[in-house]
Structure 1
Amino acid sequence: MNYLGIDVGTTGIKGLVVEENGQILDRFDFPLTVNIVKPGWSEQNPYDWWKGVIEILKKSAKYKINSIGLSGQMHSLVTLDKDGKIVRPAILWNDQRTTKECQEATQILGGERNVIAEVGNPILEGFTLGKILWIKKNEPENFEKIRYVMMPKDYIAYMLTGEVGTEWSDASGTAFYDVRARKWNSKVLKTLGIDEKILPSISKSYDVRGLLERSLEKELGWENVKVVAGGADNAVSALGIGVFKPGDCMVSVGT
């Protein structure tokens, strides 16, 4: 059996084909650019991610792929309308425009100590919550169009399967997820005026999101390819190097 791993990174889409025993058969890379709209702003067009994924799928077509696993940049906000179309460019994890929104939300929720008690993290600019609040305040016409919000790898899963969802690890980096109860924090969302209906359902990271769209299978010559929900890049990186139990440690010196 062969497996295809796809990572939606900030500077590129990466693909890795491996056998069941872990032997690497092939690897692919599709470069991306980041759009710096203003100083401190950082955006990408999710269609560019999809373009890279399609190229990697075509290069992998010579292998009999049994399932696809996904990982991706954390926190970045993808917004879709009722027809599944992109509402606006994705606001990335390294975007810093939301300082005011993060401070206001922290104050409304009773201070940082209360916030951490609710969601396990402070509300920082990198997380998804501030980005939603920024759109709500500064782009109300776009906010009204939003039917779904999701993270980058979840958008790719949606494009591959037609199924909307996310999983534990990416949900934990949004600042509106209860990491203890493993569900969206209804109290936080209601207090900040965010309708929980725009949030995807949450599964385990190793759950199957769905089957690859039949039209893609036909084009690639595959059959009954399962797409696994996957995980946030730092979480799956830790798993990949063997961080399995309490006491294990990984130091990541990133961008």
Structure 2
Amino acid sequence: MTTTKLFLGIDCGTQGTKAIILDAASGQVLGQGAAPHTMISGANGRREQDVQQWLDAFVSATHQALQAANVDGQSILGIGVSGQQHGLVLLDDEGEVLRPAKLWCDTETAAENARLLAHLGGEEGSLERLGVVIAPGYTVSKLLWTKEQHPDVFSRIARILLPHDYLNFWLTGRACSEYGDASGTGYFNVRTRQWDLQMLRDIDPSGRLKAALPELIDAHAAVGTILPAIAEQLGINPNAVVASGGGDNMMGAIGTGNIQPGAITMSLGSSGTVYAYSDAPNVSADASVATFCSSSGGWLPLICTMNLTNATGAIRELFKLDLTAFNALVAQSPIGAEGVSMLPFLNGERVPALPHATGSLHGLTMENLTQANLCRAAVEGTTFGLRYGLDLLRQNGLQSLRICLIGGGSKSAVWRQIVADIMDAPVICTEQSEAAALGAAIQAAWCESLSSGDEVSLADLCRRCVKLDTHSETLPIAANVAAFQQAYERYQQHVATL
């Protein structure tokens, strides 16, 4: 009988929590589960979530995955947690959550971020000091906002956690953070891999925020084992090791095998991200490139757009289309959508850096105002934002043979072709579209192997567990590349007017 080595990978995203059961011995994903979250939204850019939803979804998705895999939760050896980055979870000294978590896509703190950025000496000062340029989505402006808008809450802060840190705290009772996710806080130096304590003293001179910070641990380190009551709730072995986990982009990198130079991962999720592995902190002079730490021991230069499937989804819902009908309309409309351009900045935008921008449509006439052209323009507009980011990464010396595509949008064949043509590069998907949950499970296997003295390398685990879907491979078509170049230049002209 062959032995199995079972691990649970969790990805707590904006829209929901996904769980997968991985057999690290065979490299097979045996079962999956999912549960949704809802958002608290305000007209002023507020985007928050009640963290109890995360815990309920974690339990529900885990039960579904165990059932789908038809395995006993007592045989789970480890858990890895991937979380949406930048979110702020505040706890009091009893470990109780003080208010809803402010999320990465929250732009209510744009004014606070602008003041903090000026305090750092602008983009150059921020790059020099932290190795990243703080953006409104980052955690640091959320802290200053809390101090100013909710002084009563601020005075009771005993712990400052990111979403994945909070889930690990719930699982184990231990508060720690890992370099990759910490990179997106705005009070962490990506070159030295240490908290920037002065940044927090500048927000609160009393110095008490320092005591609220989680301890920093290595990517391959364990947080601990699961608290018995939580293990029982999840139906999981209480001796299962909880790995360091990380931000969704860092876990997505592991889940696509992007742990050495030469690979590029592009995620078509609610937001769009493009990232590549680097073994040195080569901080780009361009403010839009965030040189985060990876969760595999190196760095992960990354660009993030705030609008992707949330923008295409808004158009879909407007026309009451399901995905199949939406994709069919996109395919019907020609490249360039007969002159219709959409700047899909419904959430403001990070890349290009336009936090106060709104969405807009350009080039509409009586002839080209069709559902198909509007659907196409939404897909093209969001993808042009990723092209803009990829060009920045390429200028920073990153080379790739092909792009590994993940996230909900990657399931669309018509969108894959558009990406291949706009980027002028072959694209391929992984068999497992939930790359962040897979990456979390692989990281848990890596972490467990080190703690059990087995010492399997992360590269070996990725080779075994990350499978490319050869049917999804899509090559650029020369005539399309040329046509898209014209449409992209038109997009750039529209952006320039903002």
Q: How many residues align?
A: 255
Q: Whole-Å Cα distance in 1 between the matches of residues 144 and 186 of structure 2?
A: 12
Matched AA of 2:225:
L
User: 5+ residue gaps in structure 1?
Assistant: none
Q: Whole-Å Cα distance in 2 between the matches of residues 15 and 218 of structure 1?
A: 17
5 Å matches for 1:75-154?
A: 75-154=86-165
User: Does 2:178 align with 1:164?
Assistant: no
SS at structure 2 position matched to 1:14: strand
Q: Whole-Å Cα distance in 2 between the matches of residues 122 and 24 of structure 1?
A: 37
Matched AA of 1:209:
V
Candidates 241, 245, 252, aligned match of 1:237: 252
Q: For the aligned residues, what is the CA RMSD?
A: 1.6
Matched AA of 1:123:
I
Candidates 6, 16, 19, aligned match of 1:15: 19
Matched AA of 1:93:
W
Candidates 4, 8, 13, aligned match of 1:4: 8
User: Does 2:27 align with 1:26?
Assistant: no
Matched AA of 2:16:
G
Deviations 1:19-64 (A, max 9, x none): 1222111000001111113341101001110011122333427342
Distance change in 2, residues 1:128/1:221 (3 Å): closer
User: Does 2:195 align with 1:184?
Assistant: yes
User: Does 2:55 align with 1:41?
Assistant: no
Matched AA of 2:72:
K
As a proportion of its length, which structure holds more helix? 2
| Contact 1:109 1:191 survives alignment (8 Å) | no
Matched AA of 2:134:
I
Matched AA of 1:56:
A
| Contact 2:223 2:244 survives alignment (8 Å) | yes
Q: Whole-Å Cα distance in 2 between the matches of residues 214 and 139 of structure 1?
A: 35
Comparing 87-96 with 209-218, greater Cα deviation is found at 209-218
User: 5+ residue gaps in structure 2?
Assistant: 273-307, 309-498
| Contact 1:44 1:90 survives alignment (8 Å) | yes
Structure with bigger gyration radius: 2
Q: Whole-Å Cα distance in 1 between the matches of residues 232 and 36 of structure 2?
A: 26
Once the two structures are TM-superposed, the CA of residue 157 in structure 1 deviates from its matched residue by: 0.7
| Contact 1:42 1:95 survives alignment (8 Å) | yes
Q: Whole-Å Cα distance in 2 between the matches of residues 251 and 160 of structure 1?
A: 30
Q: Whole-Å Cα distance in 2 between the matches of residues 216 and 138 of structure 1?
A: 34
Matched AA of 2:251:
V
| Contact 1:169 1:231 survives alignment (8 Å) | yes
Aligned to 1:55: 60
Once the two structures are TM-superposed, the CA of residue 109 in structure 1 deviates from its matched residue by: 2.1
TM-score using structure 1 length: 0.94
SS at structure 2 position matched to 1:222: coil
SS at structure 2 position matched to 1:145: coil
Q: Whole-Å Cα distance in 2 between the matches of residues 138 and 221 of structure 1?
A: 40
SS at structure 2 position matched to 1:124: coil
Deviations 1:70-107 (A, max 9, x none): 10100011111100001000001000011111111112
TM-score using structure 2 length: 0.49
- The runs of at least 4 aligned residues of structure 1 exceeding 4 Å deviation read none
| Contact 2:33 2:63 survives alignment (8 Å) | no
Greater relative contact order, per chain length (Cα 8 Å cut-off, separation 6+):
1
User: Does 2:189 align with 1:175?
Assistant: no
Q: Whole-Å Cα distance in 2 between the matches of residues 199 and 244 of structure 1?
A: 28
SS at structure 2 position matched to 1:66: strand
Distance change in 2, residues 1:223/1:104 (3 Å): closer
User: Does 2:237 align with 1:226?
Assistant: no
Candidates 197, 216, 219, aligned match of 2:230: 216
Once the two structures are TM-superposed, the CA of residue 124 in structure 1 deviates from its matched residue by: 0.7
Comparing 82-91 with 51-60, greater Cα deviation is found at 51-60
Matched AA of 1:36:
S
Distance change in 2, residues 1:139/1:70 (3 Å): same
| Contact 2:90 2:159 survives alignment (8 Å) | yes
